[in-house]
Structure 1
Amino acid sequence: MSAKQAAVIGFMRADHPSRMSWRRWGLRPFYPVIGGGLLLGLWWLGGFIIQHDSRISSFSGFAPAPTFRTLYHLIASGALWGIAAPSMYRIGMGLFWAILIGVPFGVGVGLFKEVREITHFPFQFLRMISPLSWMPVAVLTFPSWDGAIIFLIAMAAVWPVLFSTAQGVRRIDPLWFKVARNLGGNGFQLLRRIIIPAVGQDIFAGIRLALGVAWIVLVPAEYLGVTSGLGYAINDARDSFDYSTVTAMVLAIGVIGFFLDAICVSMIKKFSWHQEG
């Protein structure tokens, strides 16, 4: 081993002084703050460039200062909650139907080889279709825009839940089922005592992925037809050239999505059999 290789390996060791210094200074709790500060700095730099460029200075509302002023006004007046509530309802109902459909189908696909082989082609085919492609079908099928948007969200969210559940079921040790049957367990008891507890973490991991996809589908879906929600607010503010409101809504979407994702992460950890230190 050359001296250069030995130096690289020595630096990568956890007990190397250069690596330990970060822990010794106690900076680890501030990592999110550092990351957020870098993001805010890039945002401020972009706003500064826009403000001082005469060709695009009319878009200065995208800068942090006017955005935070508008966001504060929306929160203080309570308008933000009224804007976000319809979107949260649509997300919640879309995820509800995705879980209601995805978990049972996922268990079936994971348990039975015949079901897995029969459904492989149709599921993979449908999964690759953009959820927004179903918009004309949804508009013609459902009597309200809420129903159409919930359908689109469910179509986007069902596949992560289904495939994550199926993958979790396939990882269950077959000996568990054999022991349970020898002890007189029936199908319902196997489902309640073995399958659901074993794949709980996988289900919530799928829900976390589904939430990210659904959150992406929600905004463009609300551009069409509805008169409420975060997507509608962005579209309406854009048409009014109110760029600070546009950015405030984008920021609100990011914050709400971040906290929803944090809830999913906490549920994944709760159902994990390997508790992290």
Structure 2
Amino acid sequence: MSALAEPKKWERYFWPLVATALFLAVWRYSVLWSHTRIFPSPYEVERGMVELIHQHVLWGDIIDSLRRVAIGFGAAVLLGVPIGLTLGWYPAADQVVNPAMQILRPISPIAWIPVAIILFGVGDDAAIFLIFLGAYFPIVVACINGVSNVPSMYRRAGRNFGLTPAQLLRKVIFPAALPQILIGLRIALGIAWLVVVAAEMIAVDSGLGYLIIDSRNSGKRYDLVVAAMLLIGIIGLILDLAFRRLERIKSVRWGFRNAS
């Protein structure tokens, strides 16, 4: 059976545009047929988004949300990657830490909101802490699994070439585990973007999450609510596409450069 042909270049853009147009058409006519006075039409959402832009608040909210995600996700990467690599490299240490991690990992970051407010008060620190929690555990688990799944023959080959344990981890194990680690980082970034919206509804007074709850409470502006929701989805898509491109570039080129 022959492999499926890859889509042509124009199809990569044409069909998503067709799907978007169909979605907008279904949305518009659903609002018309239901005669709803609450849920806005695409035109009303567009008008609300223009209003936000003219009020010079939209870009500030977007920047605040991205800044919190960058800090929380960055801290999770800086702490989670070394810890995950260490636990994957030393299975005995992983057996000691694993029970506590498996208890904490399923707890939703949203459940930590009261604790975050007690520890950090209402503000950026609480939101960043929640983002950190949401991203930390997927990163650690991805690093542990990535190191554990490296074939043992790689380790034996590295030892035969006289590599020290540190050199073996840096030049052989880490490059081999890098594709799986990058997948974990991508998942963690998506979770961080989800968590920031919920955290901003409670812990701060800016950002896209705050924009949603404030628009709902201030005159029930559901056009602004849906506009903020669409922006969250669009930015999330852009972040995911950017990370996927980085993943394709770095997983092979950077990893095997260090392995050589």
Same fold (TM over 0.5): yes
- Which residue does the alignment assign to 2:96? 118
**Secondary structure of the corresponding residue to residue 204 of structure 2:** coil
- Which residue does the alignment assign to 1:34? 18
- Which residue does the alignment assign to 1:246? 225
Point out the structure with max Rg over C-alpha.
Answer: 1
**Aligned residues between the structures:** 252
CA contact (8 A) 1:226 1:232 kept: yes
Matches of 2:136 and 2:55, distance apart in 1: 36
1:117-146 CA distance string (max 9 Å, x none): 222211111111111111122112125521
Identity of aligned residues (%): 35
- CA apart distance, 1:27: 4.1
2:149 to 144, 161, 171: 171
- Which residue does the alignment assign to 1:223? 201
1:46 to 5, 30, 46: 30
List alignment gaps of at least 5 residues for structure 1.
Answer: 1-12
TM-score computed with the length of structure 1 as normaliser: 0.81
1:41-72 CA distance string (max 9 Å, x none): 3322332234x2xxx41x14x21001112223
CA contact (8 A) 1:71 1:248 kept: yes
CA contact (8 A) 1:106 1:161 kept: yes
CA contact (8 A) 1:67 1:248 kept: yes
Of stretches 171-180 and 79-88 in structure 1, the one that deviates more from structure 2 is 171-180
Counterparts in 2 of 1:95 and 1:194: CA distance versus 1, 3 Å? same
Aligned pairs for 1:10-29 within 5 A: 27=11, 29=13
- CA apart distance, 1:38: 3.1
Counterparts in 2 of 1:23 and 1:252: CA distance versus 1, 3 Å? closer
TM-score computed with the length of structure 2 as normaliser: 0.86
Matches of 2:122 and 2:250, distance apart in 1: 37
Q: Which amino acid aligns with 2:24?
A: L
Matches of 2:153 and 2:222, distance apart in 1: 60
RMSD: 2.6
1:67 to 42, 45, 61: 45
- CA apart distance, 1:273: 4.1
Matches of 2:177 and 2:32, distance apart in 1: 49
2:71 to 93, 96, 101: 93
Of stretches 157-166 and 34-43 in structure 1, the one that deviates more from structure 2 is 34-43
Of stretches 148-157 and 134-143 in structure 1, the one that deviates more from structure 2 is 134-143
- Which residue does the alignment assign to 1:187? 165
